[in-house]
Amino acid sequence: MARPPAELAPEYHQSVWGVASLAPWFLAPPGTGEVWFPAPGDFPLLVKFIFTSERLSVQVHPPDDYAQTRERCRGKTEMWHILEACEGAAIGLGLTRPVSKEDFRAAAQRGGVEALVNWLPVQPGETYLVPAGTVHAIGAGVTLCEIQENSNVTYRLYDYGRPRELHLEKGLEVARLEPYQGLRSLPLRCEHFHTEELVIERGAEYQPGPAAHLLIAIEGSGTAAGRPLRAGTVLFLEPGTNPFQILPSPRLRLLRTYSPR
């Protein structure tokens, strides 16, 4: 039986830092900050599109071993591919200098964590790996595609006084309180996912190969297997998916990602 690629349905998640409109990417309620694309079964990766009007909390994700023991779930290593960035937009990755747990805890309690975070200006097209244990935050005015381990465990370290739960002690158990040491380019390979960019400027037959993977349209439009394909579309290709035609109109840029495990 022929197996065509499956288009994943978006899930819209509102947040305190969501935006008024996701156009032209998605038709979503005002205040939406994240669009999730869960794949079927126990596929180990999750794709999100993130849109920010304010800074996200300063946070950290645990590695697999800690998350399995304490949360009964996967850990969370992720990557960010920047799609749009307003003037002055920045992301926080790691700290400006190594600090002790005691000094970080004291900074969190007096509202001084922002000054410890290493804020990096960002531009469209840039890519950042965010390994589990990395202290991080996304600034205002950023649109990005996130590829992550399929897990929803997050420890908030600091939230600018918003009335949301913090997880400072758990976070300090897993956080690397040091400058950022991650990768910053495509193709990006780590133990949890491999991600590369595909630029298609003329029609071609796509060969899915034996491994389940995702194709994420991030620029342009066209068709895939005769169905419309536009920025914001995510396709799931299970093992055994048949080759199919991708036709750009006039150009498509995609991310292809899969788990090497």
Active site residue ranges: 156
């819209």: which residue's tokens?
12
Which token pair is 146?
Answer: 């996130």
Spatial CA neighbour of 15 closest among 157, 115, 140, 112? 140
**What whole-number distance in Å separates Cα of residue 242 and Cα of residue 247?**
16
Cβ atoms of 215 and 144 closer than 8 Å: no
Spatial CA neighbour of 122 closest among 94, 86, 95? 86
**What whole-number distance in Å separates Cα of residue 228 and Cα of residue 211?**
24
